Chain A
Amino acid sequence: MSMVDQLPNLGRESEMLAAMGLTSMDDLFSDIPEAVRRNSPLDLPPPQTEEEIWRDAQRLLSANVPVNSRPSFIGAGLYANHVPSMVPMMATRGEFLTSYTPYQPEVSQGMLQAMWEFQTMISELVGLPVANVSMYDASTAAAEALTTAVRVLNRKVEQKDTVYVSELVPEHRFSVIQNYTQGGGIEVKRLPHTEDGCLDMEAAKGAAGSCAVYVEQPNAFGIADEGIALLKEILGDTTALIIGVNVVSLGLMEAPGHYGADIVVGEGQPFGIGPTGGGPVYGIFACKQDFIRQMPGRIVGLSHDTDGQRAFTLTLSTREQHIRRHRATSNICSNETLIALMGAMHMALLGPSGLEILSTRNAAAAMLTEKKLLEINGVESAHPRASHFNEFVIRLPGPAEELCQHLDRRGITPGLPIEALFPEMESNLLLVSCTDQTSDGDVTALVAGVSGWVEEVSA
């Protein structure tokens, strides 16, 4: 008999088969034609007990290097953070953890209300009236924002089937955008940037008359770009302005909905979950009223039951694949609800002032780190005229990859070579990311490490 401890009916097979008038488990698979049957056992190891799995998992995962285990300045859209203990403890309550999409609202009010509250908090955060229950990540949120904008605006614009994406959207996100847009015959053009690391506003004028423009604020160099706040005026009503945000920045930075964004997307991760190897995280997606009927993803609406009691339910499902099939606005079905729930809990706990403090801590850490690094002879700012939030780019006297390897051996992760995000850019550039988890000691260690390496390189 199998060693597996997850099967309540193990050892009771004959009893159940007999009740059906069958004699063997093979009878249950008699409908599989001989030609496609597998008769040999699976070539896999025997089952393990929980105890053995737990031991193996600890061994394997302790071979990884957690970002918070050392001074670490790696970010680029996914950040080290502290998630309040309440969040995983409440979110993994079995009633939340083991529920499916709330198709039966009468027994799913808890998750539905929590997601309606999530929609409200995201709406408040970005300054737009409607948010969905989550996308897979920031890249798919951006990609589906572009296809949404094309569906809504293509009939009204001169540059049909055309969207513009900032050149400062890094390769790992741009590649996703390409995969999602190519099928619809959408042409994706790039918007250039200036030497200051900001959007080239002159060139941006050329995007007026297209379906949409996608830019990020702060951008991949960590720059808070003032030009982006003026973009909507240049683009006009019929070109959608889509802005990708760092959600933590919005404690200090203006909500993009207040300077003309039609759709706001971003990585929700810093609220709710650690960087977690890149997933599960969640993409946020919020938009103006005009885009509601073409937006992707699940949406919760307020309603009432037959007694007139307040009740929530999924709504606008006629946009979705299970109803509209190939005419659906998106194929998205499973999303990242549980992680959005964690985000909601984290946001609710922070509250309005907690968000501002969190945002300030990020900005302060970057301010201090940048100042100290730039005091090192041989280290320069790549964008000295620009304003930064929690990330910035420095130019080193040698390849950034070499610095990373040098400091890694000393227990420090100094950041990410820009080449990893933009393969065509110069190899001496390093993206340094700070968060609320960056300590004084981390900055001291980084500065000492970089100084030592610069001296070696310059010698």
Chain B
Amino acid sequence: MSDIFAFRGSEDAGYAQPAPIADAEAAKERIPVSLRRAERAAWPTASEPELVRHYTWLSQRNFGIDTGFYPLGSCTMKHNPRVNERIVQLAGMNDVHPLAPAHHLQGLMAIFHEMQEMLGHCAGMDAVTLQPVAGAQGEFTAIRCIQEYHRSIGQSHRDKVIVPDSAHGTNPASAAMCGYSIIEIPSGEDGRLDLDALRAVVGDDTAAMMITNPSTLGVFEPDIAEAAQIVHDAGGQMYYDGANFNAIIGRTNPGLMGFDAVHYNLHKTFSQPHGGGGPGSGPIGVKTHLAEFLPSPIVGRRPSEEGEIGAGDGWWYTWEAPENSIGKVHQWHGNAGAVVRSWAFYRRYGRDLRTMSEHAVLNANYLRHRIMNPSPEIREKIHAMPADGCPADVVKHEFTLSMTPLVDAIGANGKDVAKRLLDYGYMAPTLYFPMIVPECLMIEPTETESKEALDKFADDFHAVLSEDAEILTTAPHTTDVKRVDEVWAARNLILRHPKKDDA
């Protein structure tokens, strides 16, 4: 066990720095006596050699896509090309200040402009801002734009946002933060959007509907255009949650489906690494009628003039403020580094982003087929086959399985299966989401897994389903720690190292 607070180096033996450029004592005295720090922060006292070992040790106790297959549904855990990381370490990225004059940022702004255009094209939207830094913030930003749009046309009484019961939790949370009440509509028995349920709730108070397509069950909503018509007829706006965009690029787009606004998850579809929970990037695209409300600034351009070298591409880039902008949702220009990584990823595919989506769907369908169709010999050993989360001939980029039959057969549940998969060297699928599928496992392989990796996972999944209940319910057995007591953590709330008394 490595404990960063147990290193016992001298306090004065830390990272060596150049001397201050003026008298240190005089500099300290610039701080008024009443505001001078009385006691140093009890940070670790460790040297670089010790810390490199500490963080190497920690990294070895962490599972990433680089470690193994990561079928975490809805999170699109695809390979992160390494050149992207090398690019963002360049001084022209890592060391530029967002408030520097625009002629210091022409290269970055060129990339921003290219990304605005590409994202708009892929989603069938007319204008794009890159400012939101996460999918949830993209949702929030787009709903804010819709709110201001309604206010601008005398429709500020519209105070309800409709979400299906299969929606990501961020959808209702984002709309609620904008001040809306949420109407959750039940999915049909087949797990799909129920148009009658939608018709029953739309009205003069409808501000928007938020939905993802393919749905969180991994299936395409066949009635999506009709749903958009119903919401539009009632005077509401259609919001597309782009979490599942990886499934459809080049095959359809939210514009064709009738949406007015969309967010993109650059950390899903465009491979910005998730880094243990972030950074993300959640640009939004909108149709023309919402463009004037987008956060400021957005990158515009004009042909460069004599003497303007800029990015060397014949254009001069400018920051533009939309006319009735909602203002800002991030104090700088969003997660520029994530945008640049995603730009490098996009360049790797170009128009073959369509091929990317096709392979994501191919892999999901192949894996679903392999899991649901074991050979008779294997089938004989399995206690109970999972049930389909949603009946469908084909799925899109992910699929859901219900482990209820296993619970009935041997008493081991979805969580037990998930934990046992960890022993086999996999990250667990998304567990117990969407909530409308009982004992749900949600599996998304992405396009960057080989056929062999998918075959092996299917075989191992079958092996897990054949094991004794005792092995499953006490899993995992071979991980760094065994099953963690989450209830104890929540009851006792030890949220920092107890080195010093709490303030």
B279, A57: Cβ atoms under 8 Å? no
Closest residue of chain B to A298 (Cβ to Cβ) is: B277
Asked if B176 lies at the interface with its beta carbon under 8 angstroms from chain A, I say: yes
B348, A50: Cβ atoms under 8 Å? yes
A61, B30: Cβ atoms under 8 Å? no
Partner of B428 from the list A104, A337, A416 (CB cut-off 8 Å) is: A104
Contacts of B500 in A (CB 8 A): 124
Contacts of A276 in B (CB 8 A): 88, 93-96, 336-337
Q: In the complex, how many residue pairs between chain A and chain B have their CB atoms under 8 Å apart? A: 724
A277, B105: Cβ atoms under 8 Å? yes
Partner of A337 from the list B275, B348, B422, B431 (CB cut-off 8 Å) is: B275
A354, B24: Cβ atoms under 8 Å? no
Count of chain A residues near B, Cβ 8 A: 217
* A100 and B178 contact, Cβ closer than 8 Å, known pairs A61-B107, A356-B40: no
Contacts of B140 in A (CB 8 A): 331
A341, B96: Cβ atoms under 8 Å? no
Within 8 A of A (CB), among B306-357: 309-312, 326-338, 340, 344, 347-356
Contacts of A357 in B (CB 8 A): 17, 20
Partner of A28 from the list B72, B365, B484 (CB cut-off 8 Å) is: B365
Partner of A352 from the list B30, B40, B250, B257 (CB cut-off 8 Å) is: B40
Asked if B200 lies at the interface with its beta carbon under 8 angstroms from chain A, I say: no
B330, A176: Cβ atoms under 8 Å? yes
* A365 and B22 contact, Cβ closer than 8 Å, known pairs A254-B37, A358-B17: yes
Closest residue of chain A to B176 (Cβ to Cβ) is: A326
Closest residue of chain A to B44 (Cβ to Cβ) is: A348
B99, A74: Cβ atoms under 8 Å? yes
Contacts of B122 in A (CB 8 A): 42
Q: Which of B75-83, B374-382, B401-409, B461-469 contacts A (4 or more CB under 8 A)?
A: B75-83
Counting chain A CB atoms within 10 Å of each CB, which of B18, B31, B474 scores highest?
B31
Q: Which of B50-58, B231-239, B284-292 contacts A (4 or more CB under 8 A)?
A: B50-58
Asked if B411 lies at the interface with its beta carbon under 8 angstroms from chain A, I say: no
Within 8 A of A (CB), among B56-94: 56-67, 70, 72, 75, 77, 79-81, 83, 85-94
* A104 and B336 contact, Cβ closer than 8 Å, known pairs A124-B43, A279-B279: no
Within 8 A of B (CB), among A283-313: 288-289, 292, 298-307, 309-313
Closest residue of chain B to A346 (Cβ to Cβ) is: B15
A8, B451: Cβ atoms under 8 Å? yes
Partner of A95 from the list B43, B64, B327 (CB cut-off 8 Å) is: B64
**A329–B282 alpha-carbon span in the complex (Å):** 20
Give A293 Cβ to nearest chain B Cβ, in Å: 10
Contacts of A413 in B (CB 8 A): 100, 104
Give B450 Cβ to nearest chain A Cβ, in Å: 4
Asked if B302 lies at the interface with its beta carbon under 8 angstroms from chain A, I say: no
B15, A349: Cβ atoms under 8 Å? yes
Asked if A458 lies at the interface with its beta carbon under 8 angstroms from chain B, I say: no
Give B23 Cβ to nearest chain A Cβ, in Å: 7
Counting chain A CB atoms within 10 Å of each CB, which of B55, B178, B333, B495 scores highest?
B495
Give A159 Cβ to nearest chain B Cβ, in Å: 20
Q: Which of A30-38, A187-195, A200-208 contacts B (4 or more CB under 8 A)?
A: A30-38
**A7–B449 alpha-carbon span in the complex (Å):** 8
A350, B43: Cβ atoms under 8 Å? yes
Q: Which of A130-138, A231-239, A376-384 contacts B (4 or more CB under 8 A)?
A: A130-138
Contacts of A307 in B (CB 8 A): 481-482
Asked if B45 lies at the interface with its beta carbon under 8 angstroms from chain A, I say: yes
**A44–B17 alpha-carbon span in the complex (Å):** 49
Partner of B134 from the list A115, A289, A335, A361 (CB cut-off 8 Å) is: A335
A134, B393: Cβ atoms under 8 Å? no
B45, A139: Cβ atoms under 8 Å? no
A328, B169: Cβ atoms under 8 Å? yes
**A57–B110 alpha-carbon span in the complex (Å):** 11
Partner of B273 from the list A31, A61, A338 (CB cut-off 8 Å) is: A338
14 contacts between A and B (CB under 8 A): A7-B356, A8-B451, A35-B225, A61-B340, A62-B107, A94-B64, A95-B67, A100-B274, A124-B41, A226-B32, A255-B37, A279-B330, A349-B46, A355-B43
Known: A66-B92, A107-B480, A253-B31. 5 other contacts (CB 8 A): A100-B276, A172-B331, A311-B484, A363-B31, A436-B17
Q: Which 7 A-B pairs have the closest CB atoms?
A: A278-B332, A338-B275, A94-B66, A61-B92, A278-B98, A110-B62, A277-B336
